[in-house]
Structure formats: C-alpha cells, structure tokens
Structure 1
Amino acid sequence: MIETNYNPDVLTCLANLSNDEVFTPPTLANQILDTLPPALFSNSKTTFLDPVSKSGVFLREIAKRLMIGLETEIPNQQERLNHIFSKQLFGIAITELTSLLSRRSVYCSKIANGKYSICENFTNEQGNIIFDKTEHTWSNGKCTFCNASQEVYEREEALETYAYQFIHTNNPEKIFKNMKFDVIIGNPPYQLSDGGNGKSAKPIYHKFIQQAKKLNPRFLSMIIPARWYAGGKGLDEFREEMLTDNRIRKIVDFENSNEVFPGVDVAGGICYFLWEKDNQGLCEVINYSDGSKVNSERALNEFPILIRQSQAIPIIRKVTANNKQALNVRVSSRKPFGLPTNYAPKKKGIPCWFTQKIGKQFANPEDVSDPFKILDKWKFLVPPAPIAGQTDFSKPVGFYYEGNTIIAKPGECCTESFIVLGAFKTENEVLAYKSYIFTKTVRFLLLQTVVSQHVTKGNFQFIPDLIKYEGIYTDEMLRKKWDINEEEWQYINSKIKATELMGNRKNEDNV
C-alpha cells in the first residue's frame, strides 16, 4: 500500500453515501456530458446551469472539458479559469451544506473569493454557486410549490427546510437576473414526504424538469428514477408531457440502479435523458439490463406508458393488434369490499380473507360493501404488492403463484390485503382464469407496465381479456394464438419466473 500511488476521487466515494438526494458519481456525470455536442465545450460563450448542485460534480467535470476546449482561444491558464468560472458555470445548491461542498469541488475553496479559490473574479463568498434559504408556502397543510407536508417540513430555523430554491418560485429566470443558459443539467432530489400513512412520499423530480424548460435552454439533461415510465404519484400529466415531447432525443435506462449508483437501491431503476430544443424526431432508447445493452429508435408515445424494453414492443403489438378488451376491466380497485388492511377480524359474519398470515376469518356484514356485485361469485384474489422487495427489474420477476393467490368461494370477501383479479359464476371458470394468469406470457405483459412493487388494475392494460374462460391455458396455446415466435418466447422466458419455482403452497381450504 505504501508503494501504491492511490489518489481516489472524493466525489466517487461520496456517491456511495446517498438517500433520496443521490450524489452523482463522476463516471456517470461524464457519461451524461458525453451525450452533449463536443462543440459546446470549445465555445467561450456556452453557459451551463446545475440547478440542483450537491457535490458540484457536473460543474467540475464541465470545467475540465472547457479548460481543454478553450485552450486555443484563451491560452493563459489563469485567464481561462477566471472566464470559465465567472462567465460560464452556474449552480444552485439544494442545501447550505451542499453549497459549501460544491464550491469546494469546483473552486477548490468553500469561499468563492477566498484565499485558496482558483478563480480571481469573484467579489462575494458564493460566487456562481448560490444558496438562498427558501421557505415553503403553506396552504391547507401542503406546500403550493412542491406539495411537501407542513407537518413534516415546517421546522425550526436551524434545520434545513428542503424548500428547493429552483422550484419554489414562479419566475426561475430571475434567480440569475434573466440570464440565458445553453445547458441545464443535474440530478434532482427524487421525493418528499407528503404526510401520508407510514412513509408515504410523492415524487418531486419532475418539477425540476418542468421548471428547467421554462428557462428555454438549448439542451436539458437530468438523472431521474425510471418509475415515471408507468407509475408514480401525480405523474400522469408529466408522463404524457414526456411521451409527447419529440425533443427528447435520447433516454438511457438502467433497470438496476446499482449500475450507476453503487450501493443505492432505487426501485424500478434509473434513467437519464437528453432534450434538445431545436432538434425534433424519434428518440434513441438505450436499455441496460443484467450486463446487456439494447438500442432502439422509436416514438415515445406509441403506448400510454413508456415501454422500457425494446424487445417487448413487437410482442405487445402482436398481442394487442386485435384485442377488443383488456383485462383491466375485470380487475377491482383497492379495497374491493371496502375493508382496509388493518380491519380487525370478527368472531362471526361474512367469511373474509385477511393477510396471508391471518388467513380466513370473518367480517361484520354491515362493514362489507359490494360495489362490483361480486360477493356471490368465485373470485381470484391476488396481493396488490406481489413482488414486494424486488427492485432490480433486470432479474426474472414472479408476480403470482400458488403461494400468494387465493380462490375465494361465493359469499367470501377480502380486505385491502388483496385485489380481485377476476370474478366468475363457476369454479371451472375461475380455475381456467387462474391458469391464464399463471402463464409466463400473461405475466410478461403485466411486467411491461410495472415499475414498482405495487400492481393496480391499470397495469393489466396490455393483457387481452378472453371474455370466456374454459379449460387450462398454457404458454404453448398463447404463443400460437398471438403468433409469438421462438426468439420472442426465449425473451419472455428469460424475464419471468416459473410458478413452480416460487415457494408454492396450496390453499386446501378454499377450493
């Protein structure tokens, strides 16, 4: 060790100490910068903004490129440094601590005009990496800008408010006195507590993207969770905006967040994108999954959600081509009988399925509602979070199997611990339906809409409703029905676990 010349980049080490405000590793920052036109880094008038600076890594790596690109135009090294830091690089820190860290990374001094700062042009301590403590604007217990919970984030003066300056204004252009930016780039905070039950939180990253577009940059690139593809609280409008915006020229998708953020587990994976104001067309989608890389070029709005796996698109097209009705019309919403998860079992009443652990107990008839008129039918019950704990979608996914599903008899209900995937008049129909759901092909179609552990009725939009269910369904039958070729089947087979390998147990009491 003494003889080894080991000089680690402190920002690489820091990238592993993360939560919802994930620090960006230098290698990832440079991958994103590589998507920008190289000419930007040899133009002394190009301006860059990181509106969510944490470690300063983007500004630091941009500065390195500018130092090389401007060497001919500004030969004197100190003059070049002064120009780059005072005229081209700008940042808005997310907290006071990260403002100091960012300045230390970029200016080599936490005080921009300090003795050790490598830029001689600053006359104040912040330089071009600013932090002004901002307060939330409360209305009915929520912040009008970011929807943060007043109960959680209204704090004493000494604590951080997490009211991020960039999105807590209707006029972001005034932060730097109406300055225009060619490139806006960064890694925004991902979510904030919304004051809901348990650890409920709402996404916040989309607000930084929407705010950045107001500044009308030439290029916009941000790293965000991939959950916006198909889910996320309050993201329906944002998803539609993204899918219909043909200025998004590239999306780079990582199904396993550890590939870009070592040691950080972001459910559903991570992506970054490149948006170009003056360049419209098809989007290049690059998907990284379990060591493999797949490129495709496509319109993002072909489907209501973004299909991350390009190999799945021709399969979905085949299956849905003549599909008159999707399975989501059969699937119940949460609390199909009006009973919450924490509903207490009664000594007598209507037979009711609680959690897997508690099993079948009873519910008070007065507490049970039947809005879907399915109480007297045979019901196929499944958990709303069938892949709880799985966050790496590059690995095979299971969903439903004998061990986590139940066939409820006529007259039986369930709590919110289950959703009703289908209800039928006869036992034979529900058994046939169950075999349909257990096929790898059907569960693969479900996978295309899932980006977290939760599954709702909307996730069944690509699965055809066969209307009439009889006999036992197999993948061989469905492959023939939907013209799925061998290559497509091998891809399906690689993505879905076999039900017999998933810790099955039989519910002897309920069939």
Structure 2
Amino acid sequence: MTCIANLSNDEVFTPPGFANQMLDTLAAAWADANDGADIWTNPDVTFLDPFTKSGVFLREIVRRLTDGLILVIPDLGQRVDHILTRQVFGIGITQLTALLARRSVYCSKFANGPHSIATSFTTEDGNIWFERTEHTWSGGKREFRVDPLTSEEIAVYTNRKCLYCGAGEDDYARGDVLETHAYAFIHTDDIKARIAELFGDNMQFDVIIGNPPYQLSDGGYGTSAAPIYQMFVEKALGLDPRFAVFVTPSRWFAGGKGLDEYRKKMLSDHRMHDIVDYPKLYEAFPGVKIRGGVSYFLWDREHDGPCTIQTMCDGQPVGERATRYLDAYDVLVRRNEAVPILEKVRAKQESTLDTRVSTGKPFGLRTFFHGKPAASGLKDPVQLFGSRKITWVARSEVPLSDGWIDQWKVLMTAVQGTSAAVETKFLSKPIIAGPGTACTETYLVAGRFDTEEEATRYSAYLRTRFVRFLVSLRKSTQHATRDVYAFVPDVPLDRDWTDALLYERYGLTDAEIAFIESQVAPHDGTLFDEDGADDSDE
C-alpha cells in the first residue's frame, strides 16, 4: 500500500503511515472525551469510510481493533469476524477501488469467498458497498437536430451539468462500459436515508474517516477541474457522527474555486477540534502534486471551542502548537507564529491594498492577445505588457480602462508559483509601466499613480519581505488575485519603505522578524518568477 500507484488525481491513495497518524489523533480525542478510554478496546464503536479506495483506513482500524479486543473476545477468528461484520463499513468510490478495499480488509475481493477472513458474510460485498450510480443531468441548452439515420428532427440537450456534483455531461456521459464517477455518497438529497438503505435503518456511525475524491473536470480551459471534496465532507458531517477525521487539500483555508461558502462554514464551526497541516509539496502524498499542500482535521460533535493547529514538515512538528478560533479572519492563517504579527499590523486599522489592486483582465485583454513587435504604423500606439513579451497595439484595440493608459502603473503577475516543495517568493517582481502602456490579463494593475516617484516607492514596497509575508497568509496556490493583498496595509508613500522601517513601524520583535525572514526569500534579479502553472494538478 505504500508503493501502490494512484489511479488519478481525484483518487489519491493514502499512505499507511499517514492514515495511522490520523488514527492516532482520533484515539487521543476519544480518550479525552471518554475519561481516558482506549477506543480500540471498545467492541461497540462503529467506523465508516464513505469514500474508500485502497481500504487502508479500514484495514488499519481492523488491525488496531484486533489487538485491542483480545481480552474482550479472546478467540482470534471470532474477534476478527465480529470486527469485520459489526464495526467497520465502507463505500467504494468505483468498482475497482471497492474490489481493492475488500481485498485489503477481508483478504478477498469477495467478502463471503473461501479466502475471506470474515466467516459470517452472506454477500460478496460484505460491509464494503458499491453499486454503479448515474449522474442526474439538468440545465443546459435545448437544440433540434436531424437524426442522420432516420432524418427525423430530434431534441437534444447540450452543456448539461449533474445536479449533485456539477460534472459536465460532455465529460462524464460515458456509456455503460466506463466508470461514471457519480459517487453515491454525494448523489442524494437525504444522506441519512441513503445510509439507511445501504446498511440498515438503525445504523449510526461513531467515527467517519477517510480521504475523499478531490476534483472533477469542470469543462473549463485545458484540464480545468473543480473541487468536490467539500461535498463529501458536508454529507459526512450531516450523518452526525461522534467524530469525523478527513484529509483534504489545504487550499480551502484561503482560496479554491467555489469554496467560499464551505470555508466560511468550516471556519465558523466550533466543533473543529484539531487541524494538522502539511504545507510542503509531496510530503503527505509522495509523487502527487497538490499545490498548497494537504491537511487533516478532526471534528468533534461535542466540542464547542477553539481548534488546535499544528504544522508539520519533513515528518516533524514545526513551530508552535496553538489553540485558537478559526473564524478570527475570513481565511485560515496557517502558521500560528503569524497571528501575533498580523494582529500588530491590523491594530493600526489602515486601509489595505486590495482596494488598490485591479481585478483580473484590467484592460480587457486575454493572456494570448499579442500586438505587433514595433510601434511603427500604429495610430496612437500603446506599449503592451503580455506573457513574457512586450508588444505594441493601437489605443483603439484596448477595450477597457482607457484612462489608466496615461498613468504610471505598477504591474504584478496574476500567477506566481514555482515547482519548489515550499514557496518562498509569493509575488513576482513588480514592473513599473509608464504612461502609454497597458497589459494583458497576465498582470494585475497593483497601483496607479500620477508620478514616477510614487510608482517607484510603491514598487519597492511590494518587493519587501514584509509585504510578501502578509500576502503569503492569504495565498494558498499560485494565483495572486487582488484578494491576497487584503492583509497588506496601504502605507503612505512619503518615503522609501524598507523591511527595517516596516518592522519598526509595526513594532515587531526579533523573533517575529526572524520568522518572517525564514518564510520569505529576497527577490533575485530575474524579471519573471512565475512558472505559469495551471490548476490541473490540484
């Protein structure tokens, strides 16, 4: 299981070591809530993995229960059969992963087969259920076409989406042979009724644990994908377990396509008990590129208070382990050491740079738009900053923000990221663009000014480690939209700001300065720091 290859980016297998860390966190929370009791010695606790893939969570639970229940059920065969038939349950996400999970847990792809270590099952599935589920298409556009075989006019629908998961019909209407990726757990209006259908009316799970599918293609440009893990989490919490433990991408902390409501809900849920965060690329899931890292959380139905947050790096805890409320800000600040720094900055109640920075596509020009290599022959030429090149266009070709063309501007790339395991730059080098210039959506207009001096001072400010550190608190992926500037104060441009002056202005301690400089590297002399990566590997 440590070496097994992932089937796809939405079906990421959890390494056994990582699964056991999650189970350790669960065991500690159970003991705290039950006067020190050991969850693995309880023959009545029920576990559900509602999106089982390799079966690693259920297998490790079975292993722990087999050791823990030795005094309760001394006979090994009876003990294992009791655990498998009464305590552990799963829902496969595909036919293949359901077979794989049964092989991992029952030692046989058939729960009632001759090689199964469970002796009481009467069905092949046992307690690891899977049945093909279809998408429910809705919306779209109705068109009339001529049937090429009958020459009759027929009505067809295009661009329909699944009512439950948002999958596009063009991508996932695959016929009867291929997997639909219509996951049963989220394709329902009543999750409790659905679980009753699968496992019985009286089934109430004490623990729900697992690693949900992360994304589905959303029909966007290239291999654009939309996250779906939040749908699984919401359905699971709707079953009202005693504890829930899930590993997901960490990008929901501060960003993510369509995750605003989910983030708001999770940050305001005071039943969140623990978050263990792995920001380093590839650390949690070797070989799987999940920008922004991954994390797991433990949700405790009876908890009502702050959440304990721990950052991990290279398998070890780093920094402070702190307990704090998650809804102090509109995003989750990952590192506990950053919170007092942010509080000192916010204490001055200054306006922030997100009010200065433009939205995407500031002049209405797409990334792939290019002008001519020279200004000759153009009426009222405008110098155009584009993707890694400068070209020239006629002023009439610039559809938006005509008044900005004649101002001094500071441009920042809308995408800044590297393939490094840990990001350290967070923003590209600012570009000062004088009057007579515009840009494609490769850039945002970070600020507009009447004089070159103001633009130069603003550019220097954006290059400081202080600014880029505050940006890093809101930047979960390579996208550097205007939202990532919402913690950065809009300081007066009456001087040339340096890190030393900024540290003094906000009263930062030596330890706080050292933390900032451990997280943010100085800029080198290169013009471009971004790698132009897209979201397809999220």
Q: TM-score, normalised by structure 2?
A: 0.87
Alignment of 1:314-393 (within 5 A): 314-345=340-371, 348=378, 349-363=380-394, 365-370=396-401, 373-387=403-417, 389-390=418-419, 392-393=421-422
The letter of the residue matching 1:416 is E
Alignment of 1:12-411 (within 5 A): 12-14=2-4, 19-36=9-26, 37=30, 39-140=38-139, 141-173=160-192, 174-175=194-195, 176-178=199-201, 179-289=203-313, 293-294=318-319, 295-345=321-371, 348=378, 349-363=380-394, 365-370=396-401, 373-387=403-417, 389-390=418-419, 392-393=421-422, 395-401=423-429, 405-411=430-436
> Separation in 2 of the partners of 1:76 and 1:128?
22
The letter of the residue matching 1:370 is S
> Separation in 1 of the partners of 2:498 and 2:317?
29
Give 1:496 deviation, angstroms. 1.2
> Separation in 2 of the partners of 1:130 and 1:356?
50
Kept in 2, the 8 Å contact 1:398–1:497? The answer is no
Kept in 1, the 8 Å contact 2:426–2:475? The answer is no
> 1:503 matched to which residue of 2?
526
Farther-moved stretch of structure 1 (249-258 vs 226-235): 249-258
Give 3-state SS (helix, strand or coil) of 2:2's partner.
helix
Give 1:21 deviation, angstroms. 1.5
> 1:460 matched to which residue of 2?
485
> Separation in 1 of the partners of 2:95 and 2:512?
52
Give 1:484 deviation, angstroms. 1.2
Give 1:171 deviation, angstroms. 2.0
> Separation in 2 of the partners of 1:214 and 1:502?
52
Give 1:138 deviation, angstroms. 1.2
The letter of the residue matching 1:382 is M
Kept in 1, the 8 Å contact 2:427–2:480? The answer is no
The letter of the residue matching 2:2 is T
Give 1:434 deviation, angstroms. 0.4
> Separation in 1 of the partners of 2:383 and 2:482?
21
Question: Hey, which bits of structure 1, 4+ residues long, moved more than 4 A?
Answer: 15-18
> Separation in 1 of the partners of 2:95 and 2:464?
53
The letter of the residue matching 1:400 is S
Residue correspondences, number: 487
Give 1:235 deviation, angstroms. 0.4
Alignment of 1:375-454 (within 5 A): 375-387=405-417, 389-390=418-419, 392-393=421-422, 395-401=423-429, 405-454=430-479
Give 3-state SS (helix, strand or coil) of 2:246's partner.
strand
Q: Per the alignment, do residues 18 and 58 of structure 1 end up closer, same or farther by CA in structure 2, a change over 3 Å counting? A: same
> 1:5 matched to which residue of 2?
none
Q: Per the alignment, do residues 355 and 127 of structure 1 end up closer, same or farther by CA in structure 2, a change over 3 Å counting? A: same
Kept in 1, the 8 Å contact 2:407–2:448? The answer is yes
> Separation in 2 of the partners of 1:454 and 1:366?
27
Farther-moved stretch of structure 1 (345-354 vs 306-315): 345-354
The letter of the residue matching 1:230 is A
> Separation in 1 of the partners of 2:394 and 2:96?
53
> Separation in 2 of the partners of 1:28 and 1:198?
32
Give 1:367 deviation, angstroms. 4.1
> Separation in 2 of the partners of 1:211 and 1:195?
24
Gap runs ≥5 in structure 2 = 32-37, 140-159, 529-538
> Separation in 1 of the partners of 2:7 and 2:281?
14
> Separation in 1 of the partners of 2:243 and 2:281?
24
> Separation in 2 of the partners of 1:257 and 1:138?
36
The letter of the residue matching 2:294 is I
> 1:509 matched to which residue of 2?
none
Using the aligned pairs only, state the percent identity.
Answer: 45
How large is the Cα RMSD of the aligned pairs?
A: 1.7
Q: Deviations over 1:197-250 (max 9, x none)?
A: 111111111111000011110000100000000000110100011111111100
Farther-moved stretch of structure 1 (173-182 vs 486-495): 173-182
The letter of the residue matching 1:142 is K
The letter of the residue matching 1:503 is T
Aligned counterpart in structure 2 of residue 472 of structure 1, from 487, 492, 496? 496
Farther-moved stretch of structure 1 (415-424 vs 286-295): 286-295
> 2:149 matched to which residue of 1?
none
> Separation in 2 of the partners of 1:390 and 1:311?
25
> Separation in 2 of the partners of 1:27 and 1:289?
15
Give 3-state SS (helix, strand or coil) of 1:310's partner.
coil
The letter of the residue matching 2:262 is F
> Separation in 2 of the partners of 1:356 and 1:338?
15
> Separation in 2 of the partners of 1:144 and 1:392?
37
> 2:533 matched to which residue of 1?
none
